[in-house]
Structure 1
Amino acid sequence: MAGALLTACDSGTNRDAEQAATDTTATSVDAGNSAQSSIQLTKGEDSPEFPDAMLEQIQPTDGQKFRSESVTFRYNIKNFKLTEMTEDAHNKMLANSQQGQHIHLIVNNDPYDALYKTTHQKELSAGHYVALSFLSRSYHESIKTPDAYVLRQFTVGNAENKNVDLTQPHMFYSRPKGEYEGKDTERIMLDFYLVNADLQENGHKVRATINGQEFMINEWKPYYITGLPMGETTIQLELLDGNGNRVESPFNPVTRTITLKEASNPQAAAH
């Protein structure tokens, strides 16, 4: 069952309209001129749960120092199978990895690497790094349970250890990413990962700005973007505190650009 469609925010939106956006289906409103917009953000339907899934990171350890720029990531996984297709993948109408379930590795909030094995080699220049790893369904939706992620920091080469406070609230961008073609452009998943923060009406929120149109998110779920034009789309995510101010974090805000393309051939259109 599809979730509620969020309205975009503007200075003229009243509390009743905001409440309707979280409770039921509503029309998206352009933040600039209050005219109806084709871009909509809808809370995703329920996905298969993996309550016992566990991700353990063997390397890097927290605070580890690497002399070489080649860093090895090693994991142990319990109650979750990499490369297996998530059971509802073909019903989601979302871009789906044909290689199946995987790990998302996000380093310094850069675009993730999708890992289909428990050992991964990554070249990193000298510097300080914060790495988030979490388990992902085959269509790139994160598993949002306490045992399904690991957050670590480490240094490479002769670099200063900046010691980011990982006990504070942080948000990491996951999807959408890259290029979408044909049918995959019709419904695109927005997904992010929260650490030490819960979204709620009177607490932390995420403000998503999509091609200049703002949406306020107060529930940690995947969301579906529809009505995007072909070409480039810019998405900015901001983690806000209960007073509507940006949370202090080296990863907040984050902005990404994706590209939507018409199907280049009938097979792509049917994907």
Structure 2
Amino acid sequence: MAQETLLKEQFDGVLRLTLNRPDKLNALTPEMRQELLTALKDAHDTSEVRTVILTGSGRAFCTGQDLNDILPDGTGEKPDLGDVLTQHYSPIIHAIRQMEKPVLCAVNGVATGAGAGLAFACDMVFAAKSAKFIHAFSRLGLVPGAGASFHLPRMVGEVRAKGLMLTGMPLTAERAADWGLIWEAIEDDQLQGEVLDIATGLAKGPTSAYAMTKHLIHASADSTLEDQLVREAEMQRRAGNSENHAEGLNAFLEKRSPVFK
């Protein structure tokens, strides 16, 4: 029986997606990429899913593209790597960024190349203390992909982004946390439990407000202050008229925990 390369588990409003080729350090095949994209789209459209966790099995999170899939074929033809990004990786990055629910990443081991790109597209990144992030495209004579050249400079600044991408030097989880690249570095044996606890808490929260908050933060990168103030007012108007705001306010006045939709 063929091994499932993407595991899906759902509990208490949380969907956990686990990349599952541990013997290949979860390197991504075309089938895995399509499975992941379909699962993310389904999560977006399924009301029972309120938070998503992306993680890996074994000792790696993801080492990016399986290089065996981009070697020349029997005729000597090489795949167009630009098409590989456009057709296979860009849709996954868009699906993560456009998810109107929190997307958490639990980096359980090394995250290399497109694997690191997947992680940094998520809303909150947690990493085992043994984990490392490596942008090794330059070692193959390639450039960063999977959104890395967009996210990394915005998260750690141009100087650090260039250093990581030009040298391909590993970045430890604890230094990544110090730089603000990830939310927290966690003891290896506690990673999955802590991330699940946080995800479960978020799943009980006001998903509509989370979606608007994410929209505001994403828009701020290319926005003027005036445009952002206008955008905030519009989002707050929508939030203020929502059932979740009414429930939150009533729960505060009644001194009870809110039950959000």
User: How does the TM-score come out when normalised to structure 1?
Assistant: 0.23
More strand by share: 1
More helix by share: 2
User: How does the TM-score come out when normalised to structure 2?
Assistant: 0.24
